[in-house]
């Protein structure tokens, strides 16, 4: 609660778990900068990409788990990422590399 009467909703523990799941925490093995990314729908609308490249990090993290955690986060405290999470959730059955990149790009 701030002096002006406003308040901030945050989920620091869940956000930390999501970053750890995606390997974007302090160990950041992808060497990516999470502060400079555009969310998926700011680029293009995600498509099925049935001919697309297979996921690169399929063995490292579960796509559905990431979508589930992000869905909870957007419902509780981050409505600004709702459209982006929904776009990614549409491809939970057979995600491709383009969908994996979109999940990683949600900030």
CA distance 23 to 84: 19
The per-residue pLDDT for 106 is: 86
**Are the CB atoms for 36 and 78 separated by under 8 Å?**
no
- What pTM was estimated for this model as a whole? 0.74
pLDDT band of residue 28 (cuts 50, 70, 90) is: low
The count of other CB atoms within 10 Å of the CB of residue 70 is 25
Write out pLDDT tens, residues 39-87: 544 556 888 898 999 999 889 999 999 999 999 999 988 888 999 999 9
The per-residue pLDDT for 80 is: 87
Q: What is the DSSP string of 40-78?
A: HHHH------TTSPPPSSTTTS-HHHHHHHHHHHHHHT-
CA distance 76 to 71: 9
């Amino acid at each position: 609660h701030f002096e002006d009467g406003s308040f901030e909703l945050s989920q620091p523990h869940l956000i930390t778990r999501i970053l750890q799941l995606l390997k974007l925490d302090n160990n950041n093995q992808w060497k990516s900068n999470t502060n400079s990314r555009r969310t998926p729908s700011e680029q293009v609308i995600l498509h099925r990409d049935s001919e697309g490249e297979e996921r690169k990090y399929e063995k490292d993290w579960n796509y559905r788990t990431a979508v589930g955690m992000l869905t909870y986060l957007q419902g509780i405290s981050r409505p600004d990422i709702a459209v982006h999470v929904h776009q990614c959730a549409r491809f939970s059955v057979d995600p491709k590399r383009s969908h994996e990149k979109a999940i990683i790009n949600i900030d």
